[in-house]
Structure 1
Amino acid sequence: MMYLKCSCRRAFMAAILATALRLSLSALSSEDEVFMPNQPDAVPTFLIIGTAKGGTTDLFEQLTSETVNLDPNRPDPPLPHKPKKEAGLLSRGGIDASKMLPQRLQYIEYLRLLRHPCGNATKGTFQECIVTNATKQFTLDATPTYFFSAVAPLYLRELSSLSKIVMMIREPVERAEVLYRHYVLAEGRWPDQSIDDLATDFFKAIKTEKGVVPVLQRAANCSFGDVFCLANSWRDISGLSLMDSLENKLFAAGMYRYALAVWRYHYFRPGRVLVVDSHAYFERRADVMETVIRFLYGRPMLPSERKHAASGEVWRKVVIPSLPKLTLSPPVRQQLSEFYEQHVMRGMFKMLSDMRDEGAWLVGFDGEPWRRCPGFMEFNAAAKPKPSLVASEVMEAAARRF
């Protein structure tokens, strides 16, 4: 009888654990419940990428500010004091991937740029340092250039398959306008050229430069769910002479759907990528930061984090003045909108929906300026409800009963 009782108990526990496992696997598609702890060999721990003028600098400041990073109530390892925002090593040309392996020169260089606690370890002490110190401090790299690099996800895969990625996306026409304004007012570029001039030259280059039209057409013809085709398309686009000039990159880098596919195909893993709608971030930063903190650290926001996120203006958010030189004219704006409609908007919500099903976290994309995009209603209607009891809670409840 005792044996039968124990057998029943083990069978019941097995059923409970099996249920918990099914819940945990199904939770991979629920961005609000999944947390995967960071590992010592995740280098960097966190990577912020996305469009320029999409909020990457502000998010970097939110995470590294002393107000929150040195909060005595913070349960997480700290980020380095004043880390370098844009290490940029993964998008450099001419990197030998074999030298990005642990303990090779470029790997150590990257650790130093990230202020990693083992950045100054010797070859003889490196392994011991990783084992004993790597989890005592988080590392952070943040730059828009990685998003549009066809090689950065490949280099990062050589370093780590466990880094958490935060990607920020802004409506492409608005992004081009704001970025142009930054270059003109902050860096003094193009004093005699309006944004209309640059856009007109961009479309002229598409028509006249050899090979551009067929490459773009092949990209546009990829089916919305064919990640391999989309990723290869961005590789081909990145190799065009069209991309050699900053003027053309100002507009070409707005083709998010292709650039996103490269990261999705080569690097993304369930539970380790968060895609942020920049517009939602700008308009309700504290609420969006709640999801960011939960994604990065697996916990609710601290009071200091919420207060910091809710205070003041968003860093580097630019409101465009109504000056003709800095603002697109209606005909050119329409031409750009049609270009991005073909190369971004038509398949973007299909891409986001598929990523969500694969375990990506997403926040925003539920209002303007996305409402008119194909698939908007279906994407938001299909958002999965939060499970009422996650796997860990099921197992804890079962353990308490025995």
Structure 2
Amino acid sequence: TDLFAQLTAGVVNLDPDRPDPQFPVKLIKEPGLLSRGGTKAFELIPQKSQYMEYLRLLGHPCSDATKRNFQECFATNATKQFTLDATPTYYFHVLAPLYLRQLSSLSKIIMMIREPVERAEVLYRHYVLAEGKWPDRSIDDLANDFFKAINTDTGVATALQRAADCSSGDVFCLANSWRDIYGFKLMETLENKIFAGGLYNYALAVWRYHYFRPGRLLVMDSHAYFDRRVDAMEKVIRFVYGRPMLPSEQTLAAFGEVWRKVVVHSVPKLTLSTPVRQQLSEFYEQHVMRGLFRMLSDMRDEGAWVFGFDEEPWNECPGFEEFNAAGGKSKP
């Protein structure tokens, strides 16, 4: 949400010194089309219904073009306006990279990665405090049900183990494993997705295999963004626009606190108990943290930009020192 505001706030979007196309002023932050039920690949080709709906959700000026003037509209507006979709659920939806490749093979992607236990806790708080979900269920209840779903379905446990056994450099194996995991009933509920969504190594493999292109992906450490927003936005601006920050962008990045979900320690149901936190940490240690820096290193070698991952909470992960010594702070 904070990054979205940094890119679209009027002070930067409408800056007369801005050399780049604008984003739509009334842009929907999370259209959600590529990861919702009912999305169909054959409806995501130009001028088909869901393609036009997506243009409308993005605020694209050609969203209401007729078949007769569609190509003319695109030719006229192609370089006049950017579109931006900030939907976090896209990343772990197994078909999203295929849908997006069909829509736009050259989009730039920013992936923000957060320590997975904290990610789950923050998402739970968001849904409880902002949307009123699960009034009678604590985050411990949801986590226990998540582990129960894994342990009672041998297919899920087998698929997870198969993913863990993939070589960290075998993107095909990891992507296929995530496809298998995503196909289980486990992934049908929001409660389970809160925890399964932190399996970055597996979910990102689908994107690496089907969509990512050199120079068009920025993998960003959310914790570093929170702590060093000016540095982070300097990287984002160079990545998105290929230029230095404008004074308006510098001022906006330096002003005020970074918007983030607030930690609420005073309400027990919103915070993981020590034993459940430990269980989740061990789960993510096996499936995420152990191979995180090998994944980041491989993605950097594949042409991805990287920011952060040079401080806590990543410093205990295997490969931390080697990754940063090789240029984790500065590449590309």
**Structure 1 length as normaliser, TM-score?**
0.80
What is the aligned partner in structure 1 of residue 309 from structure 2?
A: 365
**For residue 109 of structure 2, what is the aligned residue in structure 1?**
165
Aligned with 2:6: secondary structure?
A: helix
Picking from 75, 83, 92, the partner of 1:139 is: 83
Question: Are 1:148 and 1:253, in contact at CA under 8 Å, matched by a contact in 2?
Answer: yes
The change in CA–CA distance for 1:386 and 1:329 in structure 2 (over 3 A counts) is closer
- Tell me the equivalent position of 2:177: 233
Distance 1:279 1:374, change over 3 A: same
Query: What's the CA shift string for 1:208-232, capped at 9, x where partnerless?
Result: 1351111111111111101011111
Task: Kindly provide the amino acid, as one letter, of the partner of residue 319 in structure 2.
Answer: G
Structure 1 match to 2:72: 128
- Report the counterpart of residue 248 of structure 1 in structure 2: 192
Aligned to 1:211, what secondary structure does the other structure show?
A: helix
Q: Deviations over 1:178-229 (max 9, x none)?
A: 1111222222222222222221221112111351111111111111101011
Return the offset for 1:386: 6.8
Q: State the aligned residue count.
A: 332
The letter of the residue matching 1:268 is F
* 2:292 corresponds to which of 348, 359, 362: 348
Say if 2:149 is the partner of 1:202: no
Q: Deviations over 1:50-101 (max 9, x none)?
A: xxxxxxx111111111011001111111110121111111112333312212
Q: Does 1:293 align with 2:237?
A: yes
The alignment status of 1:60 with 2:12, answered yes or no, reads no
1:14 is aligned to none
Residues 157/301 of structure 1: CA separation in 2 closer, same or farther (3 Å cut): same
Give 1:339 shift: 0.1
Residue 135 of structure 2 corresponds to residue 191 of structure 1: yes
What letter matches 2:221 in structure 1? D
Aligned pairs for 1:35-46 within 5 A:
none
**Alpha-carbon distance in 2 for matches of 1:316, 1:346:** 27
Alignment partner of 1:335 out of 279, 288, 312: 279
User: What is residue 321 of structure 1 aligned with on the other side?
Assistant: 265
Q: CA deviation at 1:384?
A: 7.3
1:303 equivalent to 2:244? Answer no
Greater relative contact order structure (CA < 8 Å, 6+ sep): 1
Q: What does 1:362-401 correspond to in 2, within 5 Å?
A: 362-383=306-327
| Residues 102-121 of structure 1: pairs in structure 2 closer than 5 A | 102-121=46-65
In structure 1, how many angstroms separate the alpha carbons of the residues matched to 2:163 and 2:283? 13
Describe the superposition over 1:118-161 as per-residue Cα deviations: whole angstroms up to 9, x where unpaired.
Answer: 11211111111111212111111111110111001001111111
Supply the distance in 2 between the matched residues of 1:382 and 1:312 (Cα, whole angstroms).
33
Give the gaps of 5 or more residues in structure 2: none
For 1:170, give the aligned amino acid. R
1:89 pairs, out of 28, 33, 41, with: 33
Q: Which runs of 5+ in 1 are unaligned?
A: 1-56, 391-402
Query: Is the CA contact (8 Å cut-off) linking 1:118 and 1:134 kept in structure 2?
Result: no
- Conserved in 1, the CA contact under 8 Å of 2:216 and 2:304? yes
- State which structure, 1 or 2, has the greater radius of gyration over its C-alpha atoms: 1
